[in-house]
Structure 1
């Protein structure tokens, strides 16, 4: 009983101390999200929707699964003859947007989850943070409102959004004109249409350390690989894709631009694995630097259309030196994959300015590193999302705690430790002075960590706090005069 109560209190304190891990970079640089706003922890679908929708600065902690599935509806659509949902393995197409052509057969009634029809609106100035791998949004996606800016989504899992129905909902969409957007350490799986999509007015964002899991039994390509992975086709799109894990997807991974529309992309250190289709698709007007990525068992690292775009550049060399102060990184393509086209016109790289990523690595290290660090379960496992000196956004916030992860389902099991990894960045120096977790006499401040496996900081707490053990991994300074302690005094 005593341990259970201590664990509950420690979990509550951990939630209150949760903050953004790392600092936004690339085309999402400058995002601070909710900043120093007091954290809120929604406990119902209605609360979550309310907290997300306005432009008020908020730090929104997701400590549970928010399930929007269960209420079904139906509507007309169509089915493919050559890859049929009715026969098993394919997807239905809701409405009439995809129903032209001789390969499509009308379907009078398609049953699907109604919750995904309208995504959850996200306004400006939000930090949406999954806590301990437990923040899951099931059955409904997020939509960043038109012209909304300064949004951080970190450590959140998106899943089960009408996976058998195209046009049944996207996991994350940007309505256009969105700037300072950072999506980090999230996971996307079992979605009927796009994992991530930006619309026609274009946005500026960084997608980093995310897992795009395409394993499905309802595939538009009838090969157990999700097809509708990612699409950025708006005017003046600017996206950084860094250290993401794409696997078991068969197309649009990602789709970059459309003919005649100018856009810029920097894709570095991403890992592509087991893809029965294509990774990059690119169109005239796109300026894309693709470097330091690894491809293993990928049928087509890029489409034939992308191969004809001269500014789809994937070759190493000196073209990056004057911009980034380093050479462009070579990509790695294994013998079971197709060819990655090199491109020929690299002059656009100068227009990227100093929009680089922290700690770029050679492609030979990418597979092990990304598999060990991508996704919500691995948030805080490395310094992959920011240089060591920039690991904490809010220096005045209590120290962030990384708890041992409890997966919410078989789809969120932590990855096994990699056998080889990139060299780790040096650990940040222990903070000192005002706002740090250590007091003037070397004691830890209220709510700071004071013990646990591998912890090397102070183990004493500033009065009146006491160091309370939650488990073998974590102990925290709890106020000895707090209402929690008074109410439960006999257990301490």
Structure 2
């Protein structure tokens, strides 16, 4: 009987951690990933690779580190004379794609880890969920295959992908035509090239609550800051960037669009810190609303090129009112940072529709909130941020009620980890076997009938069916 009780407790506790926390929003809205598929927990690298690759609806739980490193190869490439990998803490460049120009010196043999250049393929209908901050993929990135859609990656760390070698691998790439993509509470570090990159056919995605950690001793800019942060240059790119933490990165954080290609970006409530280079880089055709972000010790909040793009808008004023039901949020730039350009053509904001983020916050609150909540270990650990104050004019603009943070729809879609999960109903009651209490818990404390909230210990209470075998076994 004792063993049965322990097994039931373990199974029930695990079930509450087996679903996506929160609801996809912004340009990633509609992503459900593996939905209600029975979760699978890979135990080997080969198993993980198999589960990821097809289009079968799956919830994939990562509760350990999957280490793909250890097999080396060598190939020709080059080194930059002014920022040398051999002497100045730079990066090697594998192959010949980056080897033109007088500043490059040929290198006949560069040793690299064989896993990095070939990412793990990800098909449609996947929830890839890190469990308890333990889901780590080391040595390989993830590649959402061309045309794949409905993918959620949450609570996963991607790290150590040939950090000293450009073209040694990307953290996450989207091969094109990808829609309903949500990347939330992940961490990217020690990657040879891009943390995140979308290729030429474009994607529609939301990146939220992620940490982009650029600390490195092999930098393309020889300043201990990772350069190749994020690049979205495809056709009709549509990205929401919300409450991400960018630090110690020196460039392309992010790079938005390319000349002559139409794309849309909403960057809100992101925190940029300790950057010896540039954050935003934008090109003709990029329509970017940059609002409510905070910059601390950032040499260039945007590049000079971005400053010349009229649709790179960081001071939208009332242009958001008719769309989001609130004024556009002001950004915060501290005295140790460079200037953030404002842009002048905000008409495109009307085309963002009702894609506002849930619970937007004022820039003055962004640093504290983002540092406390971004990354895998913070998933499910906090409550909703206090919403930004709305002006009378913004409050009276009600053409987009679904986007207001005071509505039930916004509350249901919140990006704050513990505000609402898929284990809670729209009425605010937790589902059977979901957590309903415990020290530090901020979620629903009532249960859907016929379940009731049962205290297991000071840290954990759970919704249990009053007539269930489980409850009888507990003697409650």
TM-score by length of 1: 0.83
Of 451, 459, 473, 1:473 maps to: 459
Cα distance between partner residues in 2 of 1:391 and 1:283: 31
Distance 1:41 1:15, change over 3 A: farther
- Partner residue, 1:358: 358
Match status 1:388 vs 2:388: no
Structure 2: 5+ residue runs without aligned partners? Answer: 386-404
Match status 1:453 vs 2:439: yes
User: Following TM superposition, by how much is the alpha carbon of 1:289 offset from its aligned partner in structure 2, in angstroms?
Assistant: 0.6
* Cα-to-partner distance string for 1:234-264 (whole Å, 9 max, x where unaligned): 0110101011110000000000011111111
SS of 2:19's equivalent? coil
**Which stretch of the first structure deviates more once superposed, 11-20 or 104-113?**
11-20
Distance 1:283 1:450, change over 3 A: closer
Cα distance between partner residues in 2 of 1:53 and 1:109: 32
User: Following TM superposition, by how much is the alpha carbon of 1:211 offset from its aligned partner in structure 2, in angstroms?
Assistant: 0.5
Cα distance between partner residues in 2 of 1:262 and 1:399: 38
Cα distance between partner residues in 2 of 1:450 and 1:324: 33
Match status 1:288 vs 2:311: no
Q: Is the 8 A contact 1:468 1:478 kept in 2?
A: no
Cα distance between partner residues in 2 of 1:12 and 1:312: 50
Match status 1:16 vs 2:36: no
- Partner residue, 1:279: 279
User: Following TM superposition, by how much is the alpha carbon of 1:454 offset from its aligned partner in structure 2, in angstroms?
Assistant: 4.3
Cα distance between partner residues in 2 of 1:68 and 1:370: 30
Cα distance between partner residues in 1 of 2:13 and 2:206: 27
- Partner residue, 2:220: 220
Q: Is the 8 A contact 2:213 2:247 kept in 1?
A: yes
SS of 2:115's equivalent? helix
Alignment of 1:61-76 (within 5 A): 61-76=61-76
Distance 1:306 1:472, change over 3 A: same
SS of 2:321's equivalent? helix
Cα distance between partner residues in 1 of 2:211 and 2:96: 31
Distance 1:224 1:399, change over 3 A: same
Over the aligned positions, Cα root-mean-square deviation in angstroms equals 3.0
SS of 1:15's equivalent? helix
Aligned length: 440
Cα distance between partner residues in 2 of 1:9 and 1:110: 53
SS of 1:264's equivalent? strand
* Cα-to-partner distance string for 1:144-193 (whole Å, 9 max, x where unaligned): 01010011111111111110110000000000000010111111011000
Match status 1:260 vs 2:246: no
TM-score by length of 2: 0.86
**Which stretch of the first structure deviates more once superposed, 196-205 or 471-480?**
471-480
Alignment of 1:404-443 (within 5 A): 430-431=428-429, 436-437=430-431
- Partner residue, 2:51: 51
* Cα-to-partner distance string for 1:398-443 (whole Å, 9 max, x where unaligned): 848xxxxxxxxxxxxxxxxxxxxxxxxxx98641xxxx43xxxxxx
Q: Is the 8 A contact 1:451 1:475 kept in 2?
A: yes
- Partner residue, 1:424: none
SS of 1:40's equivalent? coil
